[in-house]
Chain A
Amino acid sequence: MTEQDVRGTVLLPGSELAPVVKELTQEKISHYAGASGDHNPLHTDAEFAARTQFGGVIAHGMLILAYLSEMMTAAFGQAWLSGGTLKIRFRAPARPGDTVAASGHVLEAEGGRTVCAVECRNQRGETLATGEAAVATRGAR
């Protein structure tokens, strides 16, 4: 029994997921604040954010997770929406001007379930978020 992604590609431990790469700007972060309703000034007010431990504006953690979720949707389709799990630890903030790359690879693919290690990094290679995503996948003989 093997597991497959949405395109029918056989998934084996070590298989890479197609990454999602986004350029972060203050405009995009503010746009997300408007859409999500999370108007914490840490994300939108440069003067306020400069006085915090972060020293400047940072992106919402949930925006970074949206990039990981897009990667999982692209790989696994509707299975991600109806049986996906995500467990993430934020490691460092993403900031305006960063290029954020969401990536992942398969850890296990058996028994109708695929488990992936996932992460987001910026253009300097700094880890922003790490964790595991799992999804119920259809097996194929």
Chain B
Amino acid sequence: MPPNLEALPKGYEFPPTPLDLSSEWVQGYVLAVEDEAIGGLSEGLVPAMAVAALALRAILDSAKLPPGAIHLGQELAFLRPVHVGERLWARALVASRGERQGWILMGIDLNVGDESARPAMTGRAMVTMPCPEPQPETWKR
């Protein structure tokens, strides 16, 4: 059972997750976002945001996103072209976490690279989510 995202402390490291950029998946992504520009480049290149989308999916697969979570902002740096068929690894950690007025604000750092640790993309996702409802205190005599 994956942990709840809102419960993760600053410094929590998500388990490294493989990202398989299969031809079938990339084609499905390109169709879904209607990307008409990537086809104009050399054959076999993956849209930059496809790598970011897969990396975020890796986080969603390893931590339960609470209802009401909102994606506030995103920073990304694309470090090298990625090709169809590559296998990359996503690593992520909770870089910042704060609470204010019933909301948690969390910054999650993303690092994507290949098996030889050659980086392909880095980034940070800023998300906010409601603080969990406080549990009623157990009545004590």
Q: A interface vs B, CB < 8 Å? A: 22, 28, 31-32, 34-38, 40-42, 48, 52-53, 60-63, 65-67, 69-74, 77-78, 80-90, 131
A81, B73: Cβ atoms closer than 8 Å:
no
Chain B residues bordering chain A, tally (CB within 8 A)? 42
Contact pick for A88, options B38, B74, B80, CB 8 Å: B74
Return the CB mask of B37-58 against A: 1 if under 8 Å, else 0. Answer: 1101110010111001110110
Q: Shortest CB–CB separation between residue A53 and chain B, in angstroms?
A: 7
CA distance A78 to B49 in the complex (A): 13
CA distance A86 to B32 in the complex (A): 21
CA distance A41 to B65 in the complex (A): 11
Chain A contact residues: over half helix, strand or loop, or mixed? Answer: helix
Give chain A residues whose Cβ lies under 8 Å from the Cβ of B77. 84-86
A87, B75: Cβ atoms closer than 8 Å:
yes
B33, A38: Cβ atoms closer than 8 Å:
no
B56, A22: Cβ atoms closer than 8 Å:
no
Measured CB to CB, the nearest residue on chain B to A130 is B73
Give chain A residues whose Cβ lies under 8 Å from the Cβ of B76. 65, 84-87
A62, B82: Cβ atoms closer than 8 Å:
no
| Contacts A/B (CB < 8 Å), 7 sampled | A35-B32, A35-B33, A52-B67, A69-B35, A87-B75, A89-B72, A131-B73
CA distance A73 to B38 in the complex (A): 7
CA distance A130 to B103 in the complex (A): 23
A36 with B32, Cβ < 8 A, contacts A74-B37, A81-B45, A82-B80 known = yes
Q: Shortest CB–CB separation between residue B49 and chain A, in angstroms?
A: 4
